[in-house]
Structure 1
Amino acid sequence: MAKPNPKGPSSSVAISCARCRAPLYRYRKGGKGALVKCFKARISVDHTEVPGVCPGCGGQFARETLIRGMPAFKIIGGKVRVQ
């Protein structure tokens, strides 16, 4: 399978926790679909101390995994908001 383009799209979105609304990431997302995964290479600003855990409420919002050979976060459904 082809690897995703690490540079990715130029537009970025703000990702925050759905429970406490603490900022989590600034992410260069492509397409109009729902946020299912975040490639680590496309995260421009990271507000988390522990990967996949919200700094505000301490809830887990993602799991670390490899997708198409690249490290990524698999987002747990309903745990994040995209603006």
Structure 2
Amino acid sequence: MLVLSRKKGQTIVIDGRIEVTVLEVEGDAVKIGISAPRDVQIARRELLQSVRETNEEAASATIDVGQLQKIAENLKKNLR
């Protein structure tokens, strides 16, 4: 990991096409701005982790076929 010190208004450039600018420093929080091409995905790590955990839970979930059949029958009744 590369560790850099930057001040408000200073920018770093990644791969010649992504710019990260320090916009504001307030207490222990730093507000940054990121300029990147549209094909570059930018996401917060905690959001990606949450999505990953939700997908893992969904993939390991079991389905009660009888319960699913009841739901389907109720849907059919409501559509009539």
TM-score scaled by length of structure 1: 0.27
The structure showing larger relative contact order (alpha-carbon pairs under 8 Å, at least 6 residues apart) is 1
Structure (1/2) with the larger helix percentage: 2
Structure possessing the higher radius of gyration over alpha carbons: 2
